[in-house]
Chain A
Amino acid sequence: MRPLAAIFMRDVRLAIRVGGGGGIGVLFFLIVVVLMPFAIGPDLALLAKLGPAVLWLAALLASLLTLDRLFAGEHEDGSLDLILMADTPLELTVAAKAAAHWLTTGLPLVVATPLLGLFMNLDGSAGAAVALTLLAGTPALTFIGLIGAALSVALRRGGLLLAVLVLPLTVPVLIFGVAASNAAIAGPPPFGTPFTILCALTLVCMVVGIFAAAAALRQGME
Chain B
Amino acid sequence: MAIIDLANPTRFLGLAHRALPWLSEITAAVFLVGLFLTYGAPDDYQQGATVKIMFIHVPSAWLGMFGWALMSVAALGTLVWRHPLADVAAKAAAPIGAAFTFLCLITGALWGRPMWGTYWVWDARLTSVLILFLMYLGVIALWRTVEDPSRAARAAAILTLVGAINLPIIKFSVDSGNTLNKPASVIRLGGPSIYPTILVPLLVMALAFTLLFVTLHIAAMGNEILRRRIRTLRLMQAQSAPGSGE
Spot the interface stretch: A11-19, A72-80, A167-175.
A167-175
Which of A157, A208, A212, A219 is B151 in contact with, Cβ under 8 Å? A219
Which of A165, A204, A215, A219 is B138 in contact with, Cβ under 8 Å? A165
B212, chain A: closest CB distance, angstroms: 27
B180 and A208 form a contact (CB under 8 A): no
Q: Tell me how many residues of B have a C-beta within 8 Å of chain A.
A: 29
A50 within 8 A of B: no
A6, chain B: closest CB distance, angstroms: 27
B141 and A189 form a contact (CB under 8 A): no
Which of B131, B158, B166, B177 is A151 in contact with, Cβ under 8 Å? B158
Which of B142, B161, B165, B174 is A175 in contact with, Cβ under 8 Å? B174
Within 8 A of A (CB), among B40-75: none
- The chain B residue sitting closest to A155, CB to CB, is B145
- The chain A residue sitting closest to B158, CB to CB, is A216
B26, chain A: closest CB distance, angstroms: 36
Mask of B131-167 contacts with A, CB within 8 angstroms, 1/0: 1001101100110011000010011001101110110
A219 and B162 form a contact (CB under 8 A): no
Within 8 A of B (CB), among A171-222: 171-172, 175-176, 179, 183, 189, 194, 197, 201, 204, 208, 212, 215-216, 219-220, 222
- Using known A-B contacts A189-B180, A212-B161, determine if residue A220 contacts B142 with beta carbons closer than 8 Å: no
**In the complex, chain B residues whose CB is within 8 Å of the CB of A164:** 137-138, 141
Which of B79, B173, B180 is A171 in contact with, Cβ under 8 Å? B173
**In the complex, chain B residues whose CB is within 8 Å of the CB of A156:** 145
**In the complex, chain B residues whose CB is within 8 Å of the CB of A179:** 177, 180-181
A151 and B159 form a contact (CB under 8 A): yes
A220 and B170 form a contact (CB under 8 A): no
B162, chain A: closest CB distance, angstroms: 5
B169 within 8 A of A: yes
Once the chains are docked, how many angstroms separate the CA of A68 from the CA of B154?
Answer: 20
Which of B145, B162, B166 is A157 in contact with, Cβ under 8 Å? B145
Most buried by A among B142, B155, B159: B155
Interface of A is mostly: helix
Which of B146, B158, B159, B177 is A155 in contact with, Cβ under 8 Å? B146
**In the complex, chain B residues whose CB is within 8 Å of the CB of A201:** 169, 173
**In the complex, chain B residues whose CB is within 8 Å of the CB of A171:** 131, 170, 173-174
Within 8 A of A (CB), among B172-203: 172-174, 176-177, 180-181
B170 and A172 form a contact (CB under 8 A): yes
Which of B138, B141, B162, B180 is A194 in contact with, Cβ under 8 Å? B180
B141 and A169 form a contact (CB under 8 A): no
Once the chains are docked, how many angstroms separate the CA of A168 from the CA of B141?
Answer: 14
A126 within 8 A of B: no
Once the chains are docked, how many angstroms separate the CA of A5 from the CA of B243?
Answer: 51
Once the chains are docked, how many angstroms separate the CA of A146 from the CA of B181?
Answer: 31
A161 within 8 A of B: yes
**In the complex, chain A residues whose CB is within 8 Å of the CB of B176:** 197
**Which residues does A use to contact B, with CB under 8 Å?**
147, 151-152, 155-157, 161, 164-165, 168-169, 171-172, 175-176, 179, 183, 189, 194, 197, 201, 204, 208, 212, 215-216, 219-220, 222
**Which residues does B use to contact A, with CB under 8 Å?**
79, 131, 134-135, 137-138, 141-142, 145-146, 151, 154-155, 158-159, 161-163, 165-166, 169-170, 172-174, 176-177, 180-181
